[in-house]
Structure 1
Amino acid sequence: MTGITIRRLTAAACAAIVVVTAASAGTADAAPIQPAPTDGAPAPDVGAEFGKPGPLRVATNYASGPCDRSLMGLIMGLQAHAEGNRETATCSDAFPYGLGSPVGVQIFAPTGPRSKGPFPAVIFMPGIAGNSAQYTALARNWSSHGFIVAIPFTFWNSMVEVPTLGTAVLAHLNAQRGTPLYRKVDFSRVTYAGHSAGGQGALQAASAYQDAGRAVIPNFRVVGVFAIQNGPLAVGATVHVPTLILGGRKDIVVPPWAWQKVYQYNGLQTAPAYFAVSKSAHHLDVARSAKTNPFIGVTTAWLRHIAYRDRRAGEFFVGERWLLPRDKAFDEVRRNAAAARLGVSASARVPDGTR
């Protein structure tokens, strides 16, 4: 596969998933934070281990360029600069960053001779007014480690219809002979994810799709969800798959001590759940380059852990001596009782050249 060229899909394909809302009530059963080690061992660094590209080449279906070529991009850039980020983010031409359609799905997929697949799917939602290409560093890294990443966008990017669009498009491309993704998507290993308002949409999708997805897509299974600096319109009690919630200590848009902890992480009771706060992250730091992105390593490790059962990645999340609380990039790390009961599993097969 040398590239992905499909950008326009039929309305029927975009409506292929039926949304069923599931709800449950519960309170958190939180396990204590692991104390810092006293044996003098070097601190683990999930960013250094998993923030580097994997062995697979990556193709995408949208061209991108500097965000500051548009008025909207300039506005977003000013906010990023106010947060201390001097990098120039990348954007596609999706309106209002250009003259392209404001609704679509950007896909990042492994390409080249080692990309036979099928690969687990990641459906990632941007925040409100976010541009899919702003998340290029994250999506390319995940895809290079053996994932097909779909980033659906509608400009508002807030509710469950957005991951519905991403799921439907992947299902359509996977089923259509002649498309670059024909039979490349493993729907038995789906992760929903998102940033800001997109993070709340990801939690909504993880709540609704475990049963609804199987009614439409054979073999469909949600293996987990992660939400980065996510919005308040989701509750943890409705989520029943392994969950990682990530906050930023310097984030004034989504303060990590508010809803992320109070009723999202604390509401997760039936499935393993984790809450981690980056010491350095502002709200738009998720759009940083691979070298400075505070979330690139931990999200890649999480994906490898839940989708591939990668033993080394799992050591950051499971076992009595789990490593994430010792990572100096985070100043608060918690897991619930369901997560504390898990043991480190043996490695399954992962893409060529990875652990």
Structure 2
Amino acid sequence: MRHRAARMLGIGLTAAALVLTPAVGVPSAAAAPETGPLGLTSMGVVPASESAIQQQFGAPGPHPVAQARTPQDCAGLTDLYVRVVQLGFDVQDEMKCFGTFPDAGLRSPVGVEFYYPDDIAGLGVLPLVLWTPGILVEPGIYDSTARHLASHGYVVAVNYSLVNWFGLTHEMGAQAAAAANADATSPLHGHIDLTRTVVAGHSAGGGSALISGGRLQGVGAQFAPEFRVVGALAIEPGPATLGIGVPPSTVPTLIVTGSADFIVHPAGWPTLVQYPQVQAPAWLTTVRGASHGKPMDGPANSVFPALEVAFLDYVTKGSAEAAKVFVGADYALATDGALMNTQRNDRADALG
């Protein structure tokens, strides 16, 4: 009953955002393009040549990728969903599935699938990314994103529950990662650095990441005493609880919206509620022309995977090149040709 009420609240907030937010002004780092009746820009891929971030972080990483389950062609209802997303949300990449419920009969829609560098045996310990999909989304659809992150030297746990809300999937992923790290028969044994964990996700999963940025630290320590959350990555985040009854994110946080997203309006709750609540360095930016489905696209057709790698490299590896995206007077997040309406809070400003 509680989950149903929360879902109905989210639907109501979405409708309200669509009606009310076009009139809300958002600070802009550059002149905004023409907007339609909802205050949204038209969809379209920003060429890689216009995005320094995509040029630098959008190429595949140096590592071949291994994964626990090989994605397959989508079927049934999910195949219909994929066709709608590709046609209506400007997704150009081929989309795959894991074959979970409802297209695999009664097979459980709850699970964790790992992606990691195939040469992990010689790489020591790697940071962990806990990735949660959107609500009702087949988790295999994020295959291109997970592969891109893993190719850059990350262990990616795609943790899913069909609902994918309220941060519970990140808890499940943290427990599965701790178990794999301790399992002598697992290829991940001793190779996951649980002290460098980032919670991430898209849509409902993005809202979950903001919740987990505030509460997973305490929960994760139950699975492994050394567990530590060092960042939260929220892509077009759903409203989740909007901070009601849960602590806000207390780790460095990046929130990314899309200028053509009518489901999570860029001037709605991400700007008005979620971003101001973060109790740590925080950044908020909008991808030009991006729909709500664009984060499902591959790195060749979308700047989202590049932004994700840049943030991960910054908060988990201390990369000097990635730091240029987020700190400094001329930080690239505010000047990149693929982005608009970029903000950072006082805590982020104080970093330099």
For 1:261, the aligned partner's letter is T
Partner of residue 65, structure 1: 72
Q: Is the 8 A contact 2:29 2:340 kept in 1?
A: no
Question: Could you report, residue by residue, the CA deviation over 1:75-124 in whole angstroms, capped at 9, with x for unpaired residues?
Answer: 23213312233543111111123344311111101122664321010001
Matched, 1:83 2:89: yes
SS of 2:61's partner is coil
Aligned partner of 1:213 among 206, 220, 224: 220
Q: TM-score normalized by structure 2?
A: 0.82
Q: After superposing the two structures, state which structure 1 stretch, 123-132 or 205-214, moved more.
A: 205-214
Structure 2, unaligned runs of 5 or more: 1-26, 32-48
Q: Compute the displacement of 1:323 (Å).
A: 1.2
CA–CA separation in structure 2 for the residues paired with 1:101 and 1:211:
28
2:169 aligned residue (139, 147, 162): 162
Report the Cα offset of residue 289 of structure 1: 2.1
The residue identity in structure 2 corresponding to 1:168 is Q
Give the TM-score, by structure 1 length. Answer: 0.81
Amino acid at match of 2:79: G
User: Does 2:338 match 1:332?
Assistant: no
| Structure 1 counterpart SS, 2:80 | helix
Distance in 2 (alpha carbons) for counterparts of 1:121 and 1:84: 30
Evaluate the alpha carbon distance shift between residue 115 and residue 292 of structure 1 in structure 2; reply closer, same or farther with a 3 A threshold: farther
**1:319, 1:235 → 2: CA distance?**
30
SS of structure 2 residue aligned to 1:91: coil
Q: Which amino acid aligns with 2:336?
A: D
Distance between the aligned counterparts of 2:93 and 2:126, measured in 1? 31
Aligned length: 305
Match of 2:320 among 311, 321, 326: 311
Secondary structure of the residue aligned to 1:332 is strand
* Inter-partner Cα distance in structure 1 for 2:104 and 2:119: 30
Query: How far apart, in 2, do the equivalents of 1:244 and 1:79 lie?
Result: 25
For 1:97, give the aligned amino acid: D
Residue 139 of structure 1, aligned match among 128, 137, 146: 146
Q: Is the 8 A contact 2:175 2:223 kept in 1?
A: no
Deviation per CA, 1:193-240, whole angstroms, max 9, x where unpaired? 010011111111111022332344122111100111111124466211
Q: Rate the CA distance shift 1:33–1:223 in 2: closer, same or farther, 3 A.
A: farther
CA distance in 1, matches of 2:193, 2:120: 18
Flag the 1:43–1:315 CA change in 2: closer, same or farther, 3 A. Answer: farther
Which of 286, 291, 302 aligns to 2:295? It is 286
Q: Alpha carbon RMSD of aligned pairs, Å?
A: 2.0
Decide whether aligned partners of structure 1 residues 215 and 88 sit closer, same or farther in structure 2, where only a CA change above 3 A counts.
Answer: closer
Q: Any conservation in 2 of the 1:51–1:290 contact (CA below 8 Å)?
A: yes
Q: Deviations over 1:1-38 (max 9, x none)?
A: xxxxxxxxxxxxxxxxxxxxxxxxxxxxxxx86679xx
Please give the alpha-carbon distance, in whole angstroms, between the structure 2 residues aligned to 1:90 and 1:114.
27
AA paired with 2:99? D
* More helix per residue: 2
CA distance in 2, matches of 1:262, 1:286: 22
Q: Percent identity?
A: 32
Gapped regions of structure 1 (runs ≥ 5): 1-31, 37-41, 344-355
- Provide Cα deviations, 1:167-209, integer angstroms capped at 9, x if missing partner: 1111111111111111111011000001001111111111102
Specify the alignment match of 2:127 in structure 1. 120
Structural mapping, 1:237-256, within 5 Å = 238-256=248-266
